Amino acid sequence: MQLAKHVKQGNLTYLSQQGDALSISENEYYRWLAFGDVIQSVMHKRKPWKLTLPHQTVMLLPLLFFRPINIIECGLGGGNFARFLTHLHPEITFTSIECNKKVIDCFNEYFNPEQAHINVIESRAEHWLEQTNIENPDWLICDVYQQQLLEFKETIALLSTFVNAVDSTSCLSINLPDASDQEVNLCLTVLQQLQTNHRIVYFHVPSYLNIVIHLIPEHWRIDNVPQKNKFAYLSKNVYQHWRGFWRHFKEA
């Protein structure tokens, strides 16, 4: 059965009508978190680490090229990236920055059934990145839900904070959900002006409105993905499957 059909058959488990109107619904196979009518993340109940939405796979395609240890995520949501990456390899340390306490509480109660070790910090991502004295992460993943579109200056400030949080060896991945062509072009233009040590590639997620942008370190060989990468965290089958996705990237 397709995921869309499962969503139509869900039973409401939790509802908070304050602020973002956060809700949790589930059926026998899936549990999902939504803001209003927008489904933010979906968890496979029997295999909680499994990726369930297409943009999540596209966001994690850099795993074809490196083995990150220290990963910071901006925007916890239902914890899909946290569950997948901590399940992928025990060496990975994962920190998630989330400003909405209700989302954190819901994650702890409904979306971390295997009690994966995830460091969750309640804060606005940009404030925490600017004010906390941290080493540059291997990977900064930005999937922040925005109820309202940001103004031009806010967009520049937010992207500047993300770029400043990574160095020339770090990867930065950004999800733009339901962004217009103008908004995507703005983000790409700003990113080009902000950094000089990365190649900027992006993907249109098929059948979805998401645009995923990756800032890839210059020394990565991304034009010809090797047939095999014995050092990758990914299994052989997953590596080959994702390798096919990578060839669809566009460069800014």
Determine the pLDDT at residue 10.
83
Instruction: Tell me which of 74-78, 130-134, 148-152 is least confident.
Output: 148-152
| Average pLDDT of span 153-160 | 87
Residue 138 has pLDDT above 80, yes or no: yes
| Average pLDDT of span 125-135 | 89
Determine contact, residues 142/162, Cβ cutoff 8 Å: yes
Determine the pLDDT at residue 151.
75
| C-alpha dihedral (114, 117, 118, 121), degrees to nearest 10 | 120
Residue 49 has pLDDT above 80, yes or no: yes
Residue 115 has pLDDT above 90, yes or no: yes
Of the candidates 103, 135, 137, the one whose C-alpha atom is nearest the C-alpha of residue 120 is: 103
| Average pLDDT of span 20-34 | 93
* CATH no., domain 46-251: 3.40.50.150
| Average pLDDT of span 59-82 | 97
| Average pLDDT of span 126-152 | 83
Cα–Cα dist 236/50, whole Å: 16
pTM: 0.93
3-class SS at 214? Answer: strand
Strands 93-98 and 119-122: parallel
Percent of the chain clearing pLDDT 90 (strictly above):
75
| Average pLDDT of span 104-115 | 96
Residue 5 has pLDDT above 70, yes or no: no
199-219 pLDDT per residue, tens = 999 999 988 889 999 999 999
Determine the pLDDT at residue 3.
59
- What is the rounded end-to-end Cα distance, in angstroms, of the chain? 37
Determine the pLDDT at residue 1.
42
